[in-house]
Structure 1
């Protein structure tokens, strides 16, 4: 249980960081501190999809994956449902980011199943949603393009901040020219391999990255005074479309929320301390939202502790794997009827070393 306590403590800070302000957008500094120039094909669970895509062959028309694997979702997706593939109302696939979200959902499993099995799973799920429509064939074509793009992306030279800094004496700052070149290479790759799908898949992300890089150049220019930097940053923001400016503002607010939560936790982490710190930084409404979500998370963790205790009793029975898994799945369903909660519990099970 000590191990679970440590896991929960770490998970809570991450959980609250997200629930305080919703899904995080990357600000310029955060964008640079992670791998900044990769289109994040499976960021939710594996970081860069492209890092494993090197092993994936071009998608064939006839999947050769094991039928039993292709007939069900991989274990890590147990308890969740695939996103819906959007159509335009006339039987064709709608050109929106939601199509990429559908593929990224399955790409999160690429480290646990073979490329052929992944292909078969995606094809089966496309058929389940779109069979009999033109959109089904269109989705398969986009899936092939996306795989080709990810494979080519993985073969580009790495331009991570670590490598870029190593090119500068003392690692004083990243090599912005190298980062710009990497961005341009990815844009060209997307345009060539994704065609008309490049913009809906990567357009917003690419624009944000180019803007963030421009902001970093300004912020790192020692020849500019603070006033000049502020003026140039303001001019850069003013030239952005309204929706992008709104995204940058959300990113700033989100970072402020993260800082406020971290400060509250340093001061003891009590609900009152959290409320007071976030009220001072973001106002009472945001503070109350975080407190409510922390209370809900505490309740969830207590429910998971009860579930884990009963699951441990099943583990001790030394049952055949199939019978054991069935009993754990039934117990999990009793405690977590919501698919998202069930998937979170299953993830904690794996992290704690449970057989299931």
Structure 2
């Protein structure tokens, strides 16, 4: 999902949950998607920056200054701060997942700007943070490797949705062998193209994906009784590292909260109902953040509705296309002074077939 307005119902719910509980792995539900940003890394970074401790504010200000020196960010990243590229204390790039997070932040704009512009943007941002250190050239090298990996990944057969069906089945089921092949191919690409960066970029994710596949195999094994399946699943969980078990628990909390929000929205529940449901799942502080985000989004939707009504009046005037487009563009700027809000409105206009 690259443009979140195109799937704004489910995306909005996920966005609220990311704000409420913080960014964690998307888990089994998204584990075979391409590794680019689980739902807008820019949003996740803003959330993390907003909820971080006070000592981090000085670092964020320095990073924001560096971003300004490196040039304006694309509209969809407006108001956010690029993640920090870590070093090892000796001027070299630290081999951590944070480096991938930096690249993924900018990759969220790949449908907004050209590949050449994206490449130039990333290089400028690297220089803004690391210029004059060996880490700068190292980061450019990793960026090139990552791009080669993503390009090769796009060329792999899409086996994640492979299904098989026997004459006795009324529905379809996942082809677990095809899923295994997909994982193995991804692992091989990472080893070949990312080298020593494969583990920090994809190690934890790959481990979770293989574990998820093992769980699927256990759950689908008709030769096992319910008790045997439960015992094997418990043993599988017990063998996981503590941090992985903690991540799974956070993922379960996220899903429970997503279900609660989805149910409240389906029923047309009030904000008080939404607050009560999220409080039960995640606690009062998370519920307050979700409600605040819901209120902000509701206000934006109301503003867009007012804008749409006035845009419809322009449409009725049967103006020449160029004049019509100019008036709609001016109207949009009046309603949405923030460039990212204006881009969101334009995207909705295109979806409705009313855009200039």
Supply the RMSD in Å over aligned alpha carbons: 4.0
Contact 1:168 1:175 in 2 (8 A): no
Deviation at 1:172, TM superposition (A): 3.3
Match of 2:48 in 1: none
Q: What does the per-residue CA deviation read over 1:69-98, in whole Å, with 9 as the maximum and x for residues that have no partner?
A: x96544444444432222222211111112
Find the aligned partners of 1:97 and 1:248 in 2 and give their Cα distance. Answer: 18
Q: What does the per-residue CA deviation read over 1:83-124, in whole Å, with 9 as the maximum and x for residues that have no partner?
A: 222222221111111211221222223334333332222222
TM-score, with normalisation over the residues of structure 1?
A: 0.72
Equivalent runs, 1:334-345 vs 2, <5 Å: 343=340
Find the aligned partners of 1:81 and 1:312 in 2 and give their Cα distance. Answer: 36
Find the aligned partners of 2:309 and 2:165 in 1 and give their Cα distance. Answer: 53
Deviation at 1:128, TM superposition (A): 2.1
Find the aligned partners of 1:306 and 1:105 in 2 and give their Cα distance. Answer: 32
Match of 1:265 in 2: 265
Q: What does the per-residue CA deviation read over 1:109-165, in whole Å, with 9 as the maximum and x for residues that have no partner?
A: 33343333322222222222221111110011101111111122222222122x2x1
Match of 2:36 in 1: 41
Secondary structure at the aligned position of 2:173 is classed as coil
Contact 1:16 1:294 in 2 (8 A): yes
Match of 2:55 in 1: none
Deviates more, 1:295-304 or 1:200-209: 295-304
Match of 1:65 in 2: none
Deviates more, 1:289-298 or 1:139-148: 289-298
Structure of higher RCO (CA pairs closer than 8 Å, 6+ residues apart): 1
Match of 1:150 in 2: 150
Contact 1:20 1:257 in 2 (8 A): no
Match of 1:140 in 2: 140
Find the aligned partners of 1:73 and 1:272 in 2 and give their Cα distance. Answer: 37
Contact 2:24 2:247 in 1 (8 A): no
Match of 1:26 in 2: 26
Find the aligned partners of 1:95 and 1:259 in 2 and give their Cα distance. Answer: 36
Deviation at 1:248, TM superposition (A): 0.6
Match of 1:245 in 2: 245
Match of 1:67 in 2: none
Find the aligned partners of 2:131 and 2:166 in 1 and give their Cα distance. Answer: 54
Deviation at 1:20, TM superposition (A): 4.2
Query: Structure 2: any 5+ residue segments left out of the alignment?
Result: 1-5, 42-69
Secondary structure at the aligned position of 1:88 is classed as coil
Equivalent runs, 1:1-356 vs 2, <5 Å: 12-23=12-23, 25-28=25-28, 30-31=29-30, 36-45=31-40, 72-161=72-161, 163=162, 165-166=163-164, 170=169, 171-279=171-279, 287=287, 290-298=290-298, 343=340, 346-353=343-350
Deviation at 1:304, TM superposition (A): 6.8
